[in-house]
Chains A and B, each alone.
Chain A
Amino acid sequence: MAEMWLNMGPQHPMTHGLWNLRVKIDGETIIQAEPIIGYLHRGWEKLAENRMYPQIIPMADRLCYGSSMSWSHLYCSTVENMLELEVPERAKYIRTIVLEAQRIGSHLMWLAALGTDLGSYTIFLYCVRERELFLDLMQNLCGARLTYNYTRIGGVRNDVPANFERDFTRVLKVFEKRLAMVEALCDESAVFRMRMEDVGKLTAEQAKNLGVTGPNLRGSGVEYDIRKEDPYEAYSDVDFDVCYEKGCDAFARYRVRVDEMYESCKIIRQAIKKIPQGPYRVKPPRTAPKGKAGWAHVEDPRGEGFMYVIGNGDDHPYRLKVRSPVFVSVSAAPAYLVGYKIADVPAIMGSIDMCLGETDR
């Protein structure tokens, strides 16, 4: 049969974000895959060396814009680790609540994009509608819909508004019912299941070796969640299960993320009841000593996010390194794709949940 290289991207309805997937196909079967990234590379880590520490927080938001709160929180955690700064308890609980709300928002956007890939515009419309509920909550809290600039080094920017608990409780009650509806729309759809089951298989050994983390790893049966294994913020005070599936295919990864949304609702309900009174912010020192390093890793909605910072003696960092979970997931694309058909590519790459802003930095 004829073999040829096919370019899927950079402008392609399937690609979430700007990258190029070159696949070598033999008829309809994929025999080789080569992802090409770099279309969004802005030299983020180099730009960070020209900015003061607080100025990098809005830049960190725009690393992965689908889950921007998670990245600005990761940056603040990294600098707090370097400065050995202890964040007040109230700030920890507020951060936990907004992080989980961001996780739900990010997973909803992922599901909307997956629906569009598979051709189901209904899933897109339902998920974007539910996401608007959470964006309204965030707007009440910090004024922005997408890139929040809310966490600060030493706490959060402002205290919660007056009806915080009431609004969150109302939204969660409505959301859980609607999420059950969206879940039924996907789970009970024969077309969805046919397209997602038994495609994109990645065994646990392969996933661990290739550095894949997050829901992609848990969809292959490995029960590892940084919120449980290495708790940060208020995660050690709340009760939740680690969601994992043994299927190893795209459907398993989808199930992991939907279950995570339910677990996030559980976490938010518990944390809201337990928020202690107190300050929401401490004042950090303006400069960091030269050569002092710190790092932090968190369970980003897409996997293990990690940042490493080295101080410069003044108020700019000397080196700020970002480890993006999607960078590694995309590099593992050949392992996911080889052997399947071209028409499976949107389902497989959609189930990996990519956000190219953090990949290219």
Chain B
Amino acid sequence: MDLSLAPNAIAMSAQEFLAWSKGVMDQLLTASGAKKAVDKITAPIWSWALRNANYPLHFGVACCALEMAAASGSRFDAERLGMIYRSSPRQTDVLLINGWVTAKLRPDLRRLYEQMAEPRWVVAMGECAISGGPWYDSYNVVQGVDTFIPVDIYIPGCPVRPEAMIDGFMKLHKKIHKETKGTFLED
């Protein structure tokens, strides 16, 4: 909307007036650089909050799940990084797939992924989730979780040591920090 319509403001309906004034405010904020400033301030705050409270889904598939459980024990302690496991996918940020995915599980896993609210990330833990692993030539195992779900972090290992899993989550933190945008989500 442009300011030239200002004289006609009094003749607009309520909805038209709201839309026009919002457009004018947007233009003003972008032109003066206020939007960019707010983005620059809020992006680090949002990324700090998001990355330090990564709630993974309580979902153990196979062997790597035991190392995931060991990582939440007292020796490796994933909880100091903010990883609290949640049982419902609606309340989680990270989908941690730690085992081989079979043809029977694939639609259910896709549904779990779609039930998670944005922002969400997917971590493929272990060889089986990355590429099918030792079962690459099986008739029932999907060769890699990234064939039907977009994956953010791949953690190699068979099984993944708990230290490696925590290192993978550190890399996820870096990724979140780089990719988080501010309130106005531009640039």
CB within 8 Å of B: which residues of A?
Answer: 10-13, 16-18, 38-43, 46-47, 50, 58-59, 62, 65-66, 109, 112-113, 124-125, 128-129, 131-132, 135, 145-147, 357
Contact between A50 and B137, CB atoms less than 8 A apart: yes
**A58–B102 contact, CB under 8 A?**
no
Partner of B66, one of A40, A46, A66: A66
A-contact 0/1 string along B29-73, CB 8 Å cutoff: 000000000000000000000000000011111110011011001
Given the complex of chains A and B, what is the CA–CA distance between A59 and B62 in angstroms? 13
Point out residues on B near A: beta carbons under 8 Å. Answer: 57-63, 66-67, 69-70, 73-75, 87, 89, 99-100, 102, 104-105, 108, 112, 134-135, 137-141, 158-159, 161
Q: Which residue of B lies closest to A109 (CB)?
A: B66
Q: Which residues of A contact B58 (CB under 8 A)?
A: 11, 13
Given A62-B63, A112-B69, CB of A47 within 8 Å of CB of B135 = yes
Pick the contact of B159: A65, A109, A125 (CB < 8 A).
Answer: A65
With both beta carbons as reference points, the residue of chain B lying nearest to A129 in the complex is identified as: B74
Residue of A nearest to B63 (CB): A65
Q: How far is the CB of A59 from chain B (nearest CB, A)?
A: 6
- With a cutoff of 8 Å between Cβ atoms, the chain A residues found around residue B62 in the complex are 17-18, 40, 62, 65, 357
Given contacts A40-B62, A109-B66, contact A59 B104 (CB under 8 A): no
B105 touches A18 (CB 8 A): yes
Question: Given the complex of chains A and B, what is the CA–CA distance between A223 and B100 in angstroms?
Answer: 38
Q: Is the CB of B104 within 8 A of A42?
A: no
User: Can you name 12 extra interface pairs (CB under 8 A) apart from A17-B62, A132-B73, A146-B66?
Assistant: A11-B57, A11-B89, A38-B104, A43-B138, A46-B138, A109-B66, A125-B74, A128-B69, A131-B70, A132-B70, A135-B70, A147-B63
Residues of A within 8 A of B104 (CB): 38-39, 41
Residues of B with C-beta under 8 A to A18: 60-62, 99, 105
- Our pick among B102, B112, B137 for the contact of A47 (Cβ within 8 Å) is B137
Can you list 20 pairs linking A and B with CB atoms under 8 Å apart? Answer: A10-B105, A17-B60, A40-B61, A40-B62, A41-B140, A42-B141, A43-B135, A43-B138, A58-B134, A62-B134, A65-B62, A112-B69, A128-B73, A128-B75, A129-B73, A129-B74, A135-B70, A146-B66, A147-B63, A147-B158
Q: Is the interface of B mostly helix, strand, loop or mixed?
A: loop
Provide the residues of chain A in CB contact with B69, threshold 8 Å. Answer: 109, 112-113, 128
Taken together as a complex, chains A and B put the C-alpha atoms of A146 and B158 apart, in Å, by 9
Residues of A within 8 A of B67 (CB): 145-146
Q: Quick one: which of A10, A12, A109, A147 has the most chain B CB within 10 A? A: A10
Give bound CA distance, A42 to B75, whole Å. Answer: 33
Taking the closest CB of chain B, its distance from the CB of A227, in whole angstroms, is 25
CB distance from B22 to the nearest CB of A (A): 42
| Residues of A close to B63: CB separation below 8 A | 62, 65, 146-147, 357
A129-B138 contact given A11-B89, A42-B102, CB 8 Å threshold? no
Looking at the assembled complex, report how far the CB atom of A27 sits from the nearest CB atom of chain B, in whole angstroms. Answer: 24
Closest A residue to B105 by beta carbon equals A39
